[in-house]
Amino acid sequence: MIKIANAPCSWGVLEFELEGKAPDYIQVLNEIKDTGYEGTELGDWGFMPTDPNQLDAELKKRELNLLGAFVPVLLKDKSKLSKGIEVAVKTARLMQSAGYKDSFIVLADENGTIPVRTKNAGRITEQMELSSEEWKIFCDGANQLAENVKKETGLRTVFHHHCGGYIETPKEVNILLENTDPSLLGLVLDMGHYKFGGGDPLEALKLHWDRIWHIHFKDCDENIAIESRKNNWDYFESVRNGVFCELGKGSVDFKSIKDELVKRNYNGWIVVEQDVLPGMGNPKECAFRNRQYIKTLGL
């Protein structure tokens, strides 16, 4: 049975250093519960309690499950790998110790920190891609991190392709999957990021099915994506202007995606993510409407 969760990023709780104030975890968890979801992701280290007993108590109080934790690592830089592995294992151990042994480490590039990729999100060209040598370092690092997480905690790792980082386009997702170990590293398919990155999420679902262990429902407003490309907006300007809109208001074909998931007997979680900047919009109202939209799909 497919279950539906939401994540702190829908409330502006992001890994970036940005202006504006996001709500605390108590408000976020309360509003996730109030708007009809059954689970959450962890958010950055320190956003939710880092004591496993307290974390479990806060989740159980609201009858919420914990699905994963986002861990960004600058994988193309070998010198950052050791610290990245340390953070990933520490985060996985927290979730495991709290009793959430089926949760994932959601590994990503350190998005939003590479100027050329941040500036050109949604319009990446070949000249902006990793070199052959950087690809090897990147993929070897992803394998090593996933291996350490599995060995130390038993948890699995999925990679999150993400606009504003080095794994954005369908081509880059393909290369990553071709050069990483399928027994160690899965893919979290994020529908909105894949669409903004130039791909068709439904086709990705079919193409990469054997590697997809986790799913994010995010929509993408194609008109705003076009404006972004025309006006040379950077990643954050695109988000501020609403490129990741409410579900059903963009160009992602969620009905066909849902039908494909049912056809393939998907039995995992779908996590709603509507990325907003801190203080932007009314996240609780959006979360409610997103949940109502998903109900129209029969989920």
C-alpha span between 76 and 73 (Å, rounded): 9
Q: What is the DSSP string of 178-247?
A: HTS-TTTEEEEEEHHHHHHTT--HHHHHHHTGGGEEEEEE----HHHHHHHHHHT--HHHHHHTTSS--T
The size of the chain, in residues, is 299
Could you tell me if 94 and 55 are in contact, meaning their C-beta atoms sit under 8 angstroms apart?
A: yes
Could you tell me if 36 and 298 are in contact, meaning their C-beta atoms sit under 8 angstroms apart?
A: no
**pLDDT per residue over 66-99, tens digit each?**
999 999 999 999 999 999 999 999 999 999 999 9
The structural domains of the chain, ordered by start, are 3-296 (3.20.20.150)
Q: CA-CA-CA-CA torsion for 177, 17, 64, 37, nearest 10 degrees?
A: -80
Could you tell me if 102 and 56 are in contact, meaning their C-beta atoms sit under 8 angstroms apart?
A: no
pLDDT at 19: 54
Block means of pLDDT (10 residues each) for the chain, 299 residues, are 95 64 89 98 93 98 97 97 98 98 97 94 96 98 98 98 97 98 98 98 98 98 97 94 96 98 97 82 93 98
pLDDT at 197: 98
pLDDT at 20: 54
**pLDDT per residue over 158-211, tens digit each?**
999 999 999 999 999 999 999 999 999 999 999 999 999 999 999 999 999 999
